[in-house]
Amino acid sequence: MKQTAFSPETQMLGYGYKPELSEGAVKCPIFQTSTFVFRSAEEGKAFFEMAYGKPGHEGEEMGLIYSRINNPDMEILEERLKIWDGGEMGAAFSSGMSAIATTLFTFLSPGDVLLYSNPLYGGTHKFIHHILTHFGVEVIGFHAGQGRREIEKMLVDSGHAKKLKMIFVETPANPTNDLIDIEMCHTIARRFSLPHKQVILAVDNTYMGPVFQHPLKQGADIVLYSATKYIGGHSDVIAGAAVGNKELITQVKKTRTFFGTMIDPHTSWLLMRSLETLKIRMEAAERNAAEVAAYLDKHPKVEKVYYLGFVEKNNPEQAYIFEKQCLGTGSMLSFDIRGGEKEAFQFLNHLRHIKLAVSLGGTESLAEHPASMTHSDVPAEERAELHISDKLVRLSIGIEHFRDIISDIEQAMEKVEVPLPAIL
């Protein structure tokens, strides 16, 4: 049986690594080096020609040059990252933001239009509105619930149709788990592509991936990750990734070489270790989240739970998107507590085990208040539209015993003084 026939979780243990190149070490060592020795000047010349894409080296294997360009830990990590999404090539970065910024800068030029889904991760929102626009890129948002016709009409009526160059979506949306139809975005990208201009669809798959959603299979061209979250999974690294076909990722890697946004050898090594347990971690957290969501759903001090397992009940018009593109319900959920910021803060301040911190996807459960923390920068009007109110609390569920998570929530809820209904 060829090794490529194995499941991703099996391949994470050794794929892409040759022990004979490292004194027989079972695991890939950390190649903590900035530069690599050439065997001859001719070899150095050939490697540089290959690195800069000069012709005449077709079929030759590129050698190691300098750790901003290539490094064994980064390369083996990239070989493994691409497997989950079924991509041809992966690229690893120093952070999720550097993966996103490097990718957008690779394909966008002044005068181009970027269509994006709302809400986006705060850092991405800032990047596209304050940095891309500064470089002459126009950005236009749409939100979950807007159909293809409506979005296409908006592009055409505003005179942006011809200039559309990229679509960037994040689904499920943070923190409300609203879904964007990836296949619909792919159709829009195709409709607005011209013979000399491919409209590229990039999907930030941090929330569900790479286990519970594979956007390339739905027609995305590039999948992006904050590997800080589930891929790293232990709340101890900052890293990012991009996966797609060879042609597009090769272009992204070229930009990365000159921005210097690559991952370092030690973090690559940590991520290889994390990838070995990715699936069992994500599945354990998913099971826990289902228990926590069911508990919160019945709690008298909770008004509404935003959880993908409740898509039928919360968003029946989105259930078909869930069926089409999600392979699981994940472990992110939010809820509206009865009251407002005061009650939400009482809850957060009384948690004993669950940490009050932003970020997500780690082994430990985390809680935060989107309106005043991760989404405080979103204008109040937009926040209201997106249901990010003062009573919303976001939870990232970890891999503890679920009863411990629930008992912590229970004791914190007991401390919350919910306002009595007004007596008329």
Q: Shortest distance, CB of residue 47 to ligand PLP, whole angstroms?
A: 31
- The residues binding ligand PLP (CB under 6 A) are 95-97, 121, 123-124, 170, 174, 204, 206-207, 226, 228-229, 238, 240
Contact assessment for residue 397 and residue 292, using Cβ atoms and an 8 Å cutoff = yes
Contact assessment for residue 137 and residue 110, using Cβ atoms and an 8 Å cutoff = yes
- DSSP assigned state of 94: S
Choose, from 80, 82, 165, 229, the residue flagged as catalytic: 229
Active-site residue, 390 included: no
353 vs 351: CA distance, rounded Å: 6
Comparing CB distances to ligand PLP, the nearer of 127 and 345 is 127
Choose, from 85, 178, 181, 204, the residue flagged as catalytic: 204
Short-list 186, 18, 203, CA closest to 104: 203
Q: Shortest distance, CB of residue 207 to ligand PLP, whole angstroms?
A: 6
Comparing CB distances to ligand PLP, the nearer of 67 and 226 is 226
Contact assessment for residue 319 and residue 311, using Cβ atoms and an 8 Å cutoff = yes
Comparing CB distances to ligand PLP, the nearer of 95 and 102 is 95
Q: Shortest distance, CB of residue 20 to ligand PLP, whole angstroms?
A: 34
Give the list of residues 6+ apart from residue 378 with CB closer than 8 angstroms, or none: 119, 122, 125, 386, 388
Q: Shortest distance, CB of residue 42 to ligand PLP, whole angstroms?
A: 40
393 vs 412: CA distance, rounded Å: 13
Comparing CB distances to ligand PLP, the nearer of 82 and 229 is 229
Contact assessment for residue 110 and residue 136, using Cβ atoms and an 8 Å cutoff = yes
Choose, from 17, 116, 121, 307, the residue flagged as catalytic: 121
Active-site residue, 229 included: yes
Buried b (16+ CB within 10 A) or exposed e, 300-335: ebbebbbbbbbbeebbeebeebbeebbebbbbbbbb
Comparing CB distances to ligand PLP, the nearer of 11 and 329 is 329
Residue carrying the six token digits 């930030």: 204
Choose, from 27, 68, 163, 355, the residue flagged as catalytic: 68
Active-site residue, 45 included: no
Active-site residue, 273 included: no
Q: Shortest distance, CB of residue 83 to ligand PLP, whole angstroms?
A: 21
Name the residues annotated as catalytic: 68, 121, 204, 229
